[in-house]
Structure 1
Amino acid sequence: MFQENAYREHLSLMLSEVLNDIGVNEGMVVKRRRVNMHKETLTNIRYKLTDKNITEYNLGSQSEGTTTIGLHSDIDVVGCMHNYNIIQYWSEWEYGKENYLMIQDENTTPGYCFLQLLHPYVPLCLTGTHDEHHITDRRGRILLKNTFINVFLQGACQQHGPSIADQGQPGFCDIDKVIAYPCKSRPQSASGWLDRQGIGRWPTQEMRRYAASTGCFVVATGSKVSEYPELEWRISTSLTERCLMFSLNITQIRCYVLLKMILKSFLNPQDEINISSFMCKTVLLHCIEKTEPSIWKDNNLLTCLTYCLLELHSCVQNDCCSHFIIPENNLMAGQFTAETKHELSKRICELIQNDRQQLLRIDIDDLGHRLQVKLNMVQHRVYYFMSSLEIHEHVLATEYLNFARAISVHYNYILNHLHNENIRTIKQHIVKLMNFSDNGNRLEHVAFKFLAPFLFTTYGSTLASSSIGENNQVSPQALVWLSAGVNSDISSSRLKLASVFYSTGYMEKAEFILRHTEQQYYSYPVIPICGCWKTPPPAVTAELMRLCSEQSENYIKKTAVCVRFTQKEINCVPHELQYEMFRSTQDDMIHRHKELDCWMDSAVVDSLPFLYFLQYKIYSHLQMYQEQQQAISKLIRTIVIDVNLRHRETALNILGQCMEQENRPQQALKCYLLSLQQRTRNNAANFHLCKLLSGLIVRLQA
């Protein structure tokens, strides 16, 4: 017995080392959580700035840090709509709002509820008929059907019940977005949990107070065993669950990661969906509550895993996995056929009895092979693995690049919202953003640090365009704002400032900025970032991984966001680029997405091609012809070599116009044709091509 215990302890330590190597360690968990919370905060600030009555929460494995590269975890997002007031007590009723009373009675499945429509002006129940989204039951109550949510999901990528699934995008995590409505008070069915006390006094009183204060959500889906599937709404306690997961120690997190690997490898092979990861999470939470904290240590990991598997086996045997916070809600109700239940029970028993052999068979993140090496069962040279440092750097680089893209996406979203607004409105948005930073939490302050400089630059450029239109001068106020935003990233705001100087004839100042920007650009492995449309993220190189690891979130300032000029900034834009603002004909507009393609009304170009284009134009004015030819050569090389360009058609269009100015019409024609290969419609190349061919015909006729 002593030898067996010593062996299991040794195996647990080796297994913990393997999990540490593949990124399941305290440092990586904290960093994953921090980046995802920053992205969540950015999203919600964007909604506040654009007056959207929505709050989004990033939930699940990505935000918890309970994932690995090989698990390919999706991103779970709850989009909380605040246009309805869901109440449990009459004291929560609000005048003038659409109020719904949460009903849990003998007709609702535990963990689910009906939503009864109330009068908006007096705290009374409405009766009678309503519309197609409501139904009147035999008691005369007007109940909201959960199919009502389909109104919001029309046109979604893929709809699965109450969620929007954004899948199949290379290089991006799948996103599972659920629309929900908030209820300010905690669910009545969770009251017992608040008074329950685990063996290790976990969850703590502080967590319970948080749970009581966050309330819950209702999600548009009914129970599988419900008699009224269209009327039931699932009660969700996602924020409380996230709080609980954030409190786990590293051994508990490793145990959960192992459960998910086992689930994917043995219990749900070939994309079967028998047991969900949420069931595994629930089992883990129950086990933590029932045990002393002292057992959750790395040298006891295998025992903890076995305990969780035994608990899971019991759940399958009894067809009952009680929701951790709402215990009356059986997560396995109606989930398995008798045949599936027997097969699952058999598989779990095999896992418990032969845990070592089964762990060695896990291919996810090469866990089994890595464990064999740790146990000296094979020589290391038989397998090649990414080192712990390589995995650490790869994950960080991926997270930070996604965060940088999120900043660009939200910036573009705000610009789209401001498309038809005046200059004063832009400043009002900046003031609102400053207030969020001054009065908000640390996360909002960080969001302000990354987002505000882009808005400063846009506001300064808009002011400059207005003053240039009036007297061909840049106002001092515009220069102040442009200077305040110059460090938004490595290049885009500097390039806009250089373009302002170019547009007003200050060629020496513009040339100095461009020279300095080019030096900065080549001091780091700079990656182009574009939030205009969804393209695969840039390749993560070894140099980039190292830099991200060293500079952490500060690396985001070293990316090169694409340069975007709105139509209000037109006087700050070289005329060759102004065509991009009018790229769409009436026929093209039919092929544009109403929201996602709003950027097409602006002039948008990748930073590096725009830098070389400006150099080409400025050196021409300064009569520095050798430098001018070097600039056009660099522009050509960038278009040909840089695989990360996201607006290649625009770069080809401005190169084509440079070729026309060089009196090289054949090369210009080639540029425009290549541009049309990149984007057939909504492309200014169509205009350039017609203009070029018209000019050639006139010459031939002459």
Structure 2
Amino acid sequence: MSHLKINDMSSEVARKQQQAKKWSDEENDSIWLCGVLDIIGVNDIYRKTCQRTNIMSEIIYTFQSQKSTYFFGSQCEGTFIPGDPQIDLDAMECDERVLVIEDIRKANLHRASLLIVKELETPAGYVKLQLVMSGVPCTSMHWSYLRNDIYKTDRLGRIVLFDLPTLNNVFMFSRSKNKPALKSENIAQEWLSRQRVFGWPSDDTINELKSYGFFVIKKGHTLSSEIDLEWRISFSLQERILMFSLTDIQHKCYVVLKMINRDIIKLDYITSYHWKTCLFYVIEENTKDVWKKESLFQSVKLCINQMLKWVICGLCPSYFIPNDNLFAGKLNCRNRILFENKLEYLLNVGFDCLFLLKSGNVFEYVKSRKSPSRSSLLQENSNKVYQEALSNISTCIIADTCRVFNGKILKYYHRANGNIANFIKFLWIMLDHIKRIDTITEHSVAETQSALSLLTPHIHTCLASNISSLAIKHPNPQVRNFLLFGSLTYFLKGGLSGYLKFISVLYAIGWYKECEQCLDQLDEEHIKNNSSLCVCRIRNNDVTMAVNDILELKMSTCIWFLPSELPITFDAMKYEIFKYVGISSKENNSTRIFHDWDFRAVVDSNVYFLFLKSEIKRKLGKLQESKGALCGIVRLDCGQNIRHPDVAWNFLAWSASTDQMTDMALQCLKRSWHVSMGIIFLANYRKKEMEAKPF
């Protein structure tokens, strides 16, 4: 008997040792996987950078707009791997002026409202929007007073919305071409009140999310008989906040699940949204101790197990509205068995499933785990991709800033109809407005001010340029000098572009020695070797520095001159301003903000720096240095470090013509012409691309 007990004890000890070794191996594997994910860009630095820059773009696009812009998806969340071509960014425009209500007592008595209505047959997570006029819900008896291209009557005779309206100057609605979205109060009572044993999300977070309401988006349930009349309830804003709040390990877990879904599961009807929902439930239903570096793969398996349970019962409950089954219309018997088998396979093979992950070259890292030399080479390549991706994020936010400035600020230049004083007044008001504004949509004061501060260098430079142009023409020397001195402050707030335009003002008033002194204070090599950013000509391989570098003179957007700035514009630039005059073209408003450089002169900051240097040295009699600067422009074009090579060659043609070198001037103009033809082709191609996009 004692012999049997000893054997049983030995077996138990051996089993525990084996289990301990298994746990130890899995912990080591998880720690190793965390390190690999950090290397390929699945880390806090990268995701926080993505989140911050997309929020800034969101604020900038919403600024001075009648609609609120929201960005969702992996690019906004930072849940994609650097270098991954399959990045999704969902842009939503929401008309928050339209009052969407759940209680008829809250209807606007002086304007149209939309009342959320549901029936027993209405699928969970979907609603209909009944028109309310003067506090009265509209039915078929009111039909003769309405436009039937926006409304329809449902089977109960209620007049309901089936297309997105936007408020016009009158009390009724007009059509909108933008992605349908309206905003309303809270509806997810079950989510708000359910018990949370492990305290996620926290009570403070729940109260915050409750205050944001929800979106209603034009999308009916796939199995509904009134699919064209239904609107889907969306908690995208709340989901985004929860994604932003994930810990590093939770974030890594989600990205691994996405990689598994794309590289191993590969089923069209199972999306990353299913896994996001799964992750939310697993976080809510488990202790914080699960989310440790050494438990990463265990947390991945927890999510796979949860998904397997849902597949077996055929129910994937929406996180905010559990009665909304995300498998509905997607998981038939065949699909369910196929998905179930894949999940069971993943649980059986365990960590070895990483051999099948092509995303981020994870499978290569697994194969090279015991080879330091191969691992080092992989890390070097991943780091290069990672650094370029970080740089491109900065490019995107600066490009977005330029687009908004073109579309929302410079449009007032056209509206001024030549009255530059009115345009200057508008710029003053805009700067004051930016200082006074607290928040935009649900963003904090700090986020709002940080985003809008990207616009101010452009506004300061534009304001100073127009004030200087008026000042130079003023007959009173004292007034002129006062205005010029005052504009200096704003030029210096405009980064490198503002500084170079300030030197242009000094040149215009004949202060050539002072021009030279100002140029000498700049880092010439840095300016020459770093290309400018320009929204009209974005390159795929843009590599820039941080956003704040604009204000530190380390980088610049391209420099531009409006027709109102002729007094401070070089003769060589004046052709660029007026070269499209007399050319008739039909303007497409939907793409105008992307192609708004045809009424002004635009030049790369490095080209303009060298051109300034050439002209200043020429005025000071330093001809060799002047020619050297022109040769520098040629070298820039040969190195493909400029965005407006046609303008650069026009500058060279003008300089050659000034020196009576007609043959060389003609050669430069010929070169400019050939370059322009290629640019026009690319511009037309980009324009067609933009016209094809719904947003």
TM over 0.5: yes
| Equivalent in 17, 26, 49 of residue 8 of structure 1 | 26
SS of the counterpart of 1:58? strand
| Equivalent in 373, 390, 396 of residue 380 of structure 1 | 373
Does the 8 A contact of 2:183 with 2:213 survive in 1?
Answer: yes
1:287 aligns with 2:282: yes
Alpha-carbon distance, 1:179 to partner: 4.2
Residues 82 and 676 of structure 1, relative CA distance in 2, 3 Å threshold: farther
| Equivalent in 469, 482, 485 of residue 479 of structure 1 | 485
Q: d(CA) in 1 for partners of 2:560 and 2:637?
A: 18
**CA displacement 1:605-662 (0-9 Å, x = unmatched):** 1111112222222333322222221121112222222x24222222222222222212
SS of the counterpart of 2:91? strand
Q: d(CA) in 1 for partners of 2:620 and 2:301?
A: 75
| Equivalent in 485, 493, 497 of residue 492 of structure 1 | 497
Match of 1:621 in 2: 619
For 2:290, give the aligned amino acid. Answer: I
Q: d(CA) in 1 for partners of 2:641 and 2:228?
A: 47
**CA displacement 1:193-249 (0-9 Å, x = unmatched):** 001122312111111101210001111211211211211111111111112122221
Alignment of 1:27-42 (within 5 A): 27-42=45-60
Alpha-carbon distance, 1:91 to partner: 4.3
| Equivalent in 220, 230, 233 of residue 232 of structure 1 | 230
Q: d(CA) in 2 for partners of 1:536 and 1:665?
A: 37
Alpha-carbon distance, 1:435 to partner: 1.2
Alpha-carbon distance, 1:681 to partner: 9.9
SS of the counterpart of 1:118? strand
SS of the counterpart of 1:419? helix
Q: d(CA) in 2 for partners of 1:556 and 1:274?
A: 47
What residue ranges of structure 2 are gaps of 5+ in the alignment? 1-18, 167-173, 417-421, 681-695
Q: d(CA) in 2 for partners of 1:479 and 1:179?
A: 50
For 2:114, give the aligned amino acid. Answer: Y
Match of 1:634 in 2: 632
Residues 406 and 479 of structure 1, relative CA distance in 2, 3 Å threshold: farther
For 2:500, give the aligned amino acid. Answer: L
Match of 2:244 in 1: 246
1:262 aligns with 2:260: yes
1:116 aligns with 2:152: no
SS of the counterpart of 2:56? helix
Residues 443 and 148 of structure 1, relative CA distance in 2, 3 Å threshold: closer
Alpha-carbon distance, 1:459 to partner: 0.7
Q: d(CA) in 1 for partners of 2:439 and 2:127?
A: 40
Q: d(CA) in 1 for partners of 2:485 and 2:465?
A: 8
1:504 aligns with 2:518: no
Q: d(CA) in 2 for partners of 1:319 and 1:245?
A: 26
**CA displacement 1:443-469 (0-9 Å, x = unmatched):** 122234332122112111111112223
Residues 98 and 418 of structure 1, relative CA distance in 2, 3 Å threshold: same
1:19 aligns with 2:51: no
Match of 1:307 in 2: 302
Match of 1:457 in 2: 461
Residues 81 and 678 of structure 1, relative CA distance in 2, 3 Å threshold: farther
Q: d(CA) in 1 for partners of 2:338 and 2:265?
A: 9
| Equivalent in 649, 660, 663 of residue 660 of structure 2 | 663
Q: Report % sequence identity.
A: 24
For 2:487, give the aligned amino acid. Answer: W
Decide which moves more: 609-618 or 123-132. 123-132
SS of the counterpart of 1:488? helix
Alpha-carbon distance, 1:587 to partner: 4.5
Match of 1:54 in 2: 67
Residues 447 and 591 of structure 1, relative CA distance in 2, 3 Å threshold: closer
**CA displacement 1:68-110 (0-9 Å, x = unmatched):** 2144422232222234221222344334443211222224221
Match of 1:82 in 2: 96
Q: d(CA) in 2 for partners of 1:98 and 1:653?
A: 57
Q: d(CA) in 2 for partners of 1:88 and 1:524?
A: 60
Q: d(CA) in 1 for partners of 2:627 and 2:363?
A: 57
Match of 1:399 in 2: 393
Match of 1:567 in 2: 563
For 1:182, give the aligned amino acid. Answer: K
Does the 8 A contact of 2:70 with 2:93 survive in 1?
Answer: yes
Alpha-carbon distance, 1:404 to partner: 2.8
SS of the counterpart of 2:128? strand
Structure 2-normalised TM-score? 0.84
Q: d(CA) in 1 for partners of 2:119 and 2:667?
A: 71
Q: d(CA) in 2 for partners of 1:535 and 1:81?
A: 33
Does the 8 A contact of 1:146 with 1:232 survive in 2?
Answer: no
**CA displacement 1:583-608 (0-9 Å, x = unmatched):** 32555523775443222111111111
Q: d(CA) in 2 for partners of 1:451 and 1:418?
A: 15
**CA displacement 1:360-398 (0-9 Å, x = unmatched):** 221211112223434x2x453377213476565444323
SS of the counterpart of 1:105? coil
Residues 554 and 632 of structure 1, relative CA distance in 2, 3 Å threshold: closer
Does the 8 A contact of 1:39 with 1:406 survive in 2?
Answer: yes
Alignment of 1:140-159 (within 5 A): 140-146=157-163, 152-153=176-177
1:409 aligns with 2:403: yes
Residues 577 and 4 of structure 1, relative CA distance in 2, 3 Å threshold: same
Structure 1-normalised TM-score? 0.84
**CA displacement 1:122-175 (0-9 Å, x = unmatched):** 455363242212112243321111477996448xxxxxxxxxxxxxxxxxxxxx
Alignment of 1:102-141 (within 5 A): 102-119=116-133, 121-122=134-135, 124-125=137-138, 127-129=142-144, 130-131=146-147, 132-141=149-158
Alpha-carbon distance, 1:278 to partner: 1.0
SS of the counterpart of 2:494? coil
SS of the counterpart of 1:486? helix
Residues 537 and 600 of structure 1, relative CA distance in 2, 3 Å threshold: farther
Q: d(CA) in 1 for partners of 2:39 and 2:594?
A: 40
Residues 92 and 553 of structure 1, relative CA distance in 2, 3 Å threshold: farther
Residues 373 and 454 of structure 1, relative CA distance in 2, 3 Å threshold: same
For 1:651, give the aligned amino acid. Answer: A
Match of 1:466 in 2: 470
Alignment of 1:277-356 (within 5 A): 277-356=272-351
Residues 573 and 632 of structure 1, relative CA distance in 2, 3 Å threshold: same
Q: d(CA) in 2 for partners of 1:312 and 1:182?
A: 31
Q: d(CA) in 1 for partners of 2:476 and 2:568?
A: 10
Q: d(CA) in 1 for partners of 2:587 and 2:138?
A: 46
Alpha-carbon distance, 1:6 to partner: 2.2
SS of the counterpart of 2:598? helix
Q: d(CA) in 1 for partners of 2:439 and 2:620?
A: 46
Does the 8 A contact of 1:261 with 1:364 survive in 2?
Answer: yes
**CA displacement 1:503-542 (0-9 Å, x = unmatched):** 222222223223333x25527963411123444352x4xx
Residues 123 and 211 of structure 1, relative CA distance in 2, 3 Å threshold: farther
Q: d(CA) in 2 for partners of 1:471 and 1:413?
A: 35
Q: d(CA) in 1 for partners of 2:125 and 2:346?
A: 31
Q: d(CA) in 1 for partners of 2:264 and 2:426?
A: 57
SS of the counterpart of 1:370? helix
SS of the counterpart of 2:99? strand
| Equivalent in 428, 438, 447 of residue 451 of structure 2 | 447
For 2:52, give the aligned amino acid. Answer: R
Does the 8 A contact of 1:186 with 1:211 survive in 2?
Answer: no
Alpha-carbon distance, 1:181 to partner: 1.5
